[in-house]
């Protein structure tokens, strides 16, 4: 059985400010680096064979922190698992979008990457990974909106009403060509941060 751990990157300054990131290349905030460290500690107690990361800096930095802790596993970059392109809204807050385009801004053509494009590249990636790593445990460090698109396609029955948290891990498995989800949006590793 192949397992895939989908990880959302650590928090960035733009996340903290509520700014849309999309394909903008934003680094992790120092808090995001600390969160990634807690996640890495958690993952080092588990069995992982390889890490794939988006080539955007915030995901790559998260993956590198994990790789430091689990040094024996290879890290590979794949641009297909980048965040969904946000077009003209990248760098803006909700308040700025409302001021600039009004309450119907989601219905406007602001250059968003089409969902079909996201699903196409995401499914091509996931099918290749499942074929390349049968019976292995694969970590995929990516982005919130991208991961949600992928989950809707692979496991449409799961409840995704909770927003994906930074450094959350969602664990999928494929058995006899069927995808299942054994863990969704888990950030138990961040509880250590709250105790300090």
Residue 170 assigned as binding residue: no
Nearest to 144, CA basis, from 99, 96, 185, 93: 185
Q: How far apart are CA 163 and CA 154, in angstroms?
A: 18
Residue 10 assigned as binding residue: yes
Residue 8 assigned as binding residue: yes
Q: How far apart are CA 16 and CA 137, in angstroms?
A: 31
> Can you tell me which residue has the tokens 């590198």?
64
Q: Given the DSSP bridges, would you call strands 137-142 and 50-53 parallel, antiparallel or unpaired?
A: parallel
Residue 14 assigned as binding residue: yes
Q: 58 with 7: CB under 8 angstroms?
A: no
Q: How far is CA 160 from the centre of its chain?
A: 14
Residue 148 assigned as binding residue: no
Q: How far apart are CA 28 and CA 13, in angstroms?
A: 7
Catalytic residue selected from 9, 29, 143, 189: 9
- Strand ranges (DSSP E) for 121-191? 137-142, 169-175, 178-186
Catalytic residue selected from 35, 83, 90, 113: 83
Residue 58 assigned as binding residue: yes
Helices (H) and strands (E) in the chain, counts: 7, 6
Question: Does residue 35 have an active-site annotation?
Answer: no
Q: How far apart are CA 173 and CA 2, in angstroms?
A: 6
Question: Does residue 9 have an active-site annotation?
Answer: yes
Residue 12 assigned as binding residue: yes
Residue 9 assigned as binding residue: yes
Query: Residues forming the annotated binding site?
Result: 8-15, 58
Could you give the residue numbers annotated as active site? 9, 83
Query: Residues forming the annotated binding site for substrate?
Result: 8-15, 58
């Amino acid at each position: 059985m192949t397992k895939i751990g989908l990880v959302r990157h650590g928090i960035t300054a733009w996340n903290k400010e509520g700014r849309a990131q999309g394909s903008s290349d934003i680094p992790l905030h120092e808090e995001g680096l600390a969160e990634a460290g807690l996640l890495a500690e958690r993952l080092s107690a588990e069995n992982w064979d390889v890490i794939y990361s988006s080539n955007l800096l915030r995901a790559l930095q998260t993956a590198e922190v994990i790789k430091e802790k689990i040094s024996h596993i290879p890290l590979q970059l794949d641009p297909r698992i980048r965040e969904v392109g946000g077009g003209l809204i990248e760098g803006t807050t909700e308040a700025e979008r409302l001021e600039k385009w009004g309450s119907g801004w989601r219905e406007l053509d602001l250059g968003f990457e089409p969902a079909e494009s996201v699903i196409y590249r995401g499914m091509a990636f996931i099918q290749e990974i499942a074929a390349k790593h049968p019976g292995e445990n694969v970590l995929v460090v990516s982005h919130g909106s991208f991961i949600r698109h992928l989950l809707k396609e692979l496991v449409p029955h799961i409840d995704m009403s909770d927003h994906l948290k930074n450094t959350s891990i969602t664990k999928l498995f494929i058995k006899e060509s069927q995808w299942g989800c054994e863990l969704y949006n888990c950030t138990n590793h961040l509880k250590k941060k709250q105790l300090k």
